[in-house]
Structures are given as structure tokens and as C-alpha cells.
Amino acid sequence: MTDEDRIARLEMIVAEQERTIEELSGQVAEQWTVVEKLRKKLDLLTERFLAVEEQSGSDVPVTKPPHW
């Protein structure tokens, strides 16, 4: 294997790695967007749940049954 062949092979490997890194970077960016949307939805649902929980209130006090 000549030096030129080795250099060409290394250049091909580097080009393939660059392409792979770009693809992975795009996928990570896409997933980050999804995660952020889900985080916002979770925050909103948590707020709604807490509001409903406060409104419902417990009319009956929570106590241990007599046999405890």
C-alpha cells in the first residue's frame, strides 16, 4: 500500500466520520426540541393537576381507622 493509497483511505474515513457526526448532531437537535416540548407540557399538566387538587379539597379529614 503506497502512501497515496493510505492518505486516500484516511480521507475517506474522515469524510464518513464527518457525515456521521452531522447526522447525529441533527438527530440530537431534533430530540432536544421534542424534549423541550414535552417538558413544557409536563409543567402545564402539573400546574393544572395542582389547581384541580386544591379546588377539590378534602371534606373528610384523613384519620386512622379505630382498629389501628
Q: Give the global pTM.
A: 0.62
The pLDDT assigned to 53 comes to: 86
- Cα–Cα distance, 21 to 13 (Å, whole number): 12
Residue 62's pLDDT band (cuts 50, 70, 90): low
pLDDT score for 32? 98
Q: How far is CA 38 from CA 7, 28, 50, 56, in A?
A: 46, 15, 18, 27
Convert the pLDDT of each residue in 7-20 to its tens digit: 999 999 999 999 99
pLDDT tens-place string over residues 2-53: 999 999 999 999 999 999 999 999 999 999 999 999 999 999 999 999 999 8
Q: Which amino acid is at 14?
A: V
